[in-house]
Structures are given as structure tokens and as C-alpha cells.
A = this chain, B = another copy of it.
Amino acid sequence: MELWFMGTGAGMPIKERNVTSVALSLQRRRGTFWLFDCGEGTQHRLLHSPLRLSRMEKLFVTHLHGDHVYGIPGLLSSRSSLGGTDPLQVYGPPGLRELIESSLRITGTHLDYPLEIKEIEPGPIVVDGDFTVEAAHLDHRIECFGYRVSERPRGGKLNVELLAELGVPAGPAYGELKKGRDIVLEDGRTIRSVDVLGAPLPGRIVAIMGDTRPTAGAVALARGADLLVHEATFGDDLAGKAELYGHSTSVQAAEIAFAAGVERLLLTHFSSRYKTEDLAELEAQARAIFPHTDAAVELVPYTVFGLPR
């Protein structure tokens, strides 16, 4: 699991930063990726990443401000042109369906795949064999969601050296042991799963927030996450402006990370007033409160490590 930021900016693009979008690569787990928000130009940025748009599986929209959604119609269209035929699920607040459907209708855009638009409420919105995704309200000027992606624990690893020593032939026996079942060899020896199977790997948790003032909802959603993505539209000196426009400062983002007890914080959604070199100051402000913080950089991978909790 890796996060790739396609855009880390608020409001409008500047030369060095695009508007908001972040991809969660599930390449190893299921050969796909999920996208969170889709500002204009997201599909352009994807071209410069290893992610293939045809393999995009789900889109989660935090809220309907333009800097988070104007890239959706073009992205949906290109996914079709690039050969994507698997269904695509899109989750977000009410209004999302009209936004997408009117754009596609007026432009006569045909998609070669089933598009499933789900206007959501707080609660679990995805539950499958690998993941649960939970949505919760944040505190912005309009309805805005944060998302918590929880991976199910993955089975432990078989100790193949030990199995070879014990003379267990590779094949169906490995599968049984992996499922936790003991086996009896032809010579009558019993091999106990517990002796050859490592501890289950804990499921990883990634929490991705939309635009928000500091809110208890974000803390709850991010509780114990391996990685929290939180907006930091402004530096500490502009707390008044942040409050007025429904945003957070770098310091407030760090306070949320601290309160939620997350492992790592990535800041994003920077005001266009900040040049790249200014972000070091926002980072420093946050690190004073929550040291494991970085200002997210576009188009580099952030691996989500699952740590024992």
C-alpha cells in the first residue's frame, strides 16, 4: 500500500502544485488503486506516475468544491478510452450524481464500463474481503467527509525453510497450514500450523481527511492509523483565516494527529500563497507538536507500513 499525491494544493493550481487528489495504490493486494478527490488535472498527473487509470477501482470524494471534483468527468472519460472495463464505484456527498451525470450527458460522453455513483452517509461504505472503508463528517463550509481505510489482518508467512527441514512437500499441504490447519504427513508425523506459520500481519489503517476545521470527527476517524492525511491550508499565523474558511493550520493538523495517536502525518491542501520552499515552515510548525510529519510531495510514493498495535 502506497499513497501517491496527484495534487497537494487548495483552490487553484499553481506552477509547482496541482489541486487536490491522492491515490492509494493497492497494486500488490489487488492490482488496482483507489483515488481520493479528483481536482482538475488529476488524470494528467497520473500519466507521470506508475498508476494506470484503467486499473482505478474506486473514487472517494470528500466534498463538492471545485478543487476536489473538476477533474472527475475527464478522468472517467479517459478511463474508458484507456480500456478500463471493470465497474468503477464513486462515493461522495449528495449532489455528486448530478454533477457527474450532467457533465457526461451534456458532452455526450459514453463510458465502456459500469459507473456506480453512491451518495453516502456517515458509516461503513465499503466492506469486502480485504478492506473496510468508513466515512464520517468533518467540519467544512459544506458537507465534507473523511475516510478511514482499514485493511483486514493478513495471514502470517509460512516458514518455508523450516518446512523444508521437516520434509513437508510444497503443494496443498502449504495451503492447509496457511489456513491454520494442522496436517498429518504420510509417515504419520503431525505438523502443527502454529509451529510453521508466523503471526498474522496487522491490517494497515489509512485515514484521509477532506477540507476541515479541527474536529473531534477527524480524531475519531484517524484513531490509531498508520498514516493520516490531513489538510493544512494555512500556517499557524493564519488561524483566523482557517477558521473563517473552514480549514486547518499546520499546527491544528498536528494536534489532530497527536490526539488520534497516529503513526505518521502527511500534510496537504496548501494555499496557493505558499511556494514549495514555504512548506518547510508549515512542516516545522507541525513537527513541534507531532514530529513524524511531512508536507506531502506530489508524485512520490509514501509506503504505508503496518506496525504492531
- Name A residues whose Cβ lies closer than 8 Å to a Cβ of B: 11-15, 18-19, 39-41, 43-44, 47-48, 64-67, 69-71, 73-74, 77-78, 81-82, 95, 98-99, 102-103, 106-109, 141-142, 272
Contact = CB atoms under 8 A, between A and B. Distances in A.
A70 B73 contact: yes
Given A66-B74, A107-B69, A12 B48 contact: no
Copies in the assembly, this chain = 2
A143 B59 CA distance: 32
Given A12-B74, A66-B74, A102 B109 contact: no
A69 B109 CA distance: 12
9 contacts: A11-B78, A11-B81, A18-B44, A40-B70, A41-B44, A44-B44, A65-B107, A66-B77, A102-B102
Contacts of A74: 12, 19, 39-40, 66-67, 70
A102 B97 CA distance: 12
Majority secondary structure of chain A interface residues (helix, strand, loop or mixed): loop
A65 B108 contact: yes
